[in-house]
Amino acid sequence: MAGLSGRAAAPRAGRAASERSEVEAGDPIGDLAARIGCPGIGSDLLATALTHRSWCAETEGAVSNERLELLGDSVLGFVVADRLYRTHSELPEGGMAKARADVVSAPALAKLARRLDLGSALRLGKGEEASGGRDKDSLLADAFEALLGAIYLACGMEEARSWLVDLISGELETAAAVPGSQDFKTQLQERCVQERGELPRYQVLATGPDHAREYRATVALGGVVIGEGIGRSKKQAQQAAAETAWKSLGPS
């Protein structure tokens, strides 16, 4: 993967000195900085992008990546939609929406995060670490969005766009060729009706405080649970459960 170009924006006047600090090599976050190739990003900003709320609960004064995640989600949605519009004029509005959803889904973003090995640089609390948080789709997808938000802040929109498009060009083409191929909930419903004559049934349980909800979903067919999944929203959790169920059913 090509890194960001040498046109990275210089830090804006007034930016906090901590955000201008150099990223040091030899530690997980420094190594990540070298992999992503973003010379304009400061160590504090990059560290924040990798900080899960569980770390903050155990570390006084730490700031989680949730605000950066929200920012990165907006950048991601815009860049993907813009790219699809400009390069795939054959796609109608519905096709664009499905293709965009495929690219920005939590499982798709988690795959990108694994490609960058974000898991090795995550800052997690002891409980999240012990439960395998470094390889959870939901945490990796959130961290990827937060990283994109940090790149946008440090290097500007054009550099963030260039970095992202270079990284996801293959996923964009696949999604444009077969829009909706990652919509496992719809695919599972159609398959269950066709093969079994009944609809899959979902149950969703929310845990955690209002500002940090986690959802766990199960999907059952004929009263038997065939898939489970977790996510930061009901939709994400149901999609994750549907994907597990789809794969458990084997070839259609």
Model pLDDT, residue 13: 33
Cβ contacts of residue 233 below 8 Å, gap of 6+?
Answer: 215
- Which two tokens mark 219? 């999907």
pLDDT in tens, 147-164: 999 999 999 999 999 999
**What ranges do the domains of the chain cover?**
17-177, 184-248
Looking at per-residue pLDDT, the higher value among 211 and 67 belongs to 67
Q: Which helix (H) or strand (E) holds 120?
A: none
Model pLDDT, residue 105: 86
Active site (annotated) includes residue 183: no
Question: Does the pLDDT at position 37 exceed 70?
Answer: yes
Q: Are 75 and 157 in contact (CB under 8 A)?
A: yes
With 0-12 / 13-18 / 19 or more C-beta atoms within 10 angstroms meaning exposed / middle / buried, residue 222 is exposed
Beta-ladder partners of 146: none
Per-residue confidence band for 15, with pLDDT thresholds at 50, 70 and 90: very low
Active site (annotated) includes residue 31: no
Q: Annotated catalytic residue: which of 137, 145, 159, 171?
A: 145
Per-residue confidence band for 181, with pLDDT thresholds at 50, 70 and 90: low
| Matching residue, tokens 């495929």 | 102
pTM summary value: 0.71
Selection from 28-32, 71-75, 90-94, 242-246 with the highest mean pLDDT:
71-75
For Cα atoms 132, 138, 141, give the angle at the middle one, nearest 5 degrees.
115
Per-residue confidence band for 76, with pLDDT thresholds at 50, 70 and 90: very high
CATH number of the structural domain 184-248: 3.30.160.20
Beta-ladder partners of 206: 215
3-state percent helix, strand, coil for the chain, nearest multiple of 5: 60, 10, 30
Q: Strand, coil or helix: what is 73?
A: helix
pLDDT in tens, 133-150: 899 888 999 999 999 999
Q: Are 65 and 48 in contact (CB under 8 A)?
A: yes
CATH number of the structural domain 17-177: 1.10.1520.10
Model pLDDT, residue 5: 41
Q: Annotated catalytic residue: which of 19, 73, 102, 128?
A: 73
User: Span 89-117, mean pLDDT?
Assistant: 91
Cβ contacts of residue 15 below 8 Å, gap of 6+?
Answer: none
- What percent of the chain has pLDDT above 70? 87
pLDDT in tens, 182-201: 678 888 888 899 998 999 99
User: Span 76-95, mean pLDDT?
Assistant: 94
Sign of CA pseudo-dihedral 126, 150, 234, 194: negative
